[in-house]
Amino acid sequence: MRFRDEFYFLSNMFPVEIKIGEYTFSCAESAFQAAKCIKPEDKKRFESLNGFEAKKLGRKVALRPDWNDVRILLMKRILKIKFSHPDLAEKLMAVKGDIIEENTWHDTFWGVCEGRGENHLGKILMSLREKLLRSEPHTPLCKIEEVKGDLFDAPWNRSNLFVHCVSADFALGAGIAKEFNRRFDMRNRLKKRYHNPQVGKHYTITYTTEERYYHVANLVTKQNYWDKPTYESLRKALESVEVDVHNLGYKSIAMPAIGCGLDRLQWSKVKPIIEDVFKNRDILITVYFL
């Protein structure tokens, strides 16, 4: 099986966002090559590279001393993140038979060349496929509760994620966003950390005190504060949050009726979007109404 054409999505070169901690890579190969590095500044260099560029640079970096011992484990983790994207997971589950990474560049560790090789990449993909097929839900795993109360009375701990909507200009001058800014200096924190925010993404700020631990996901659903979001931009921002929920292990989400205040979206349309995005996550989502 060649990882090209209809099976190109199996290739580590396939373009898909891989977010690991503070780093965001353009594909699994870039993330894997960055994992070789010891210094954070060296890992950072791989964020802007495609898979082929990353593979070339990866041959020049100083390897972490335990590389040969951990490379399979790291590949498993990276591919788990890759196939947490629902569309790719569905494609992987649809592949029939053995997955063998056949190549012509004599990689007999990750694949098979001229009939010989250990096929570690193919084995990892088959293991992921099996796990996905076993866990494929027939009903949504997420649970949405609608309550009347103050959003800021929700639990503030490491496993709970607060979610609300902002514009890409980080104005935070009205509605619930204004309150987040008042409480946590959110505008300055966002502008200091994120310099090129994109509509359809989210940007998390973590704030700690001696008693509380705050995770706030700021969903960018429109470009300017005077614009209005679309249901599609809201969905894309929520999908980026869903990846973090999977990778970082959040157990609950607290949010207002996102997009339904000053932004004038309809909760009857927003709620099904939330249910669909998080349908494969065993998570409690509490929506607060005043």
The set of catalytic residues is: 222, 263
SS3 162: strand
* Sign, CA torsion 153/280/199/206: positive
Question: Chain-centre distance of CA 284, in angstroms?
Answer: 18
SS3 18: strand
Separation of alpha carbons 167 and 226, rounded Å:
9
What does the block give as tokens for 111? 């694949």
Angle, to 10 degrees, between the axis of helix 186-193 and the axis of helix 175-184?
A: 80
DSSP 9: G
Could you identify the residue written with the tokens 């969903």? 219
What does the block give as tokens for 235? 């969905």
SS3 93: helix
Strands 143-148 and 284-289: parallel
Separation of alpha carbons 125 and 108, rounded Å:
16
Checking 133-137 for CB contacts under 8 A at 24+ apart, the result is: 133/93, 135/280, 136/93, 137/279, 137/280
Per the CB < 8 A criterion, the answer to whether 29 and 13 are in contact is yes
Residues 6+ away with beta carbon under 8 Å from 141: 278, 279, 280, 281, 282, 283
Q: How far is CA 164 from CA 19, 87, 195, 261, in A?
A: 20, 25, 19, 11
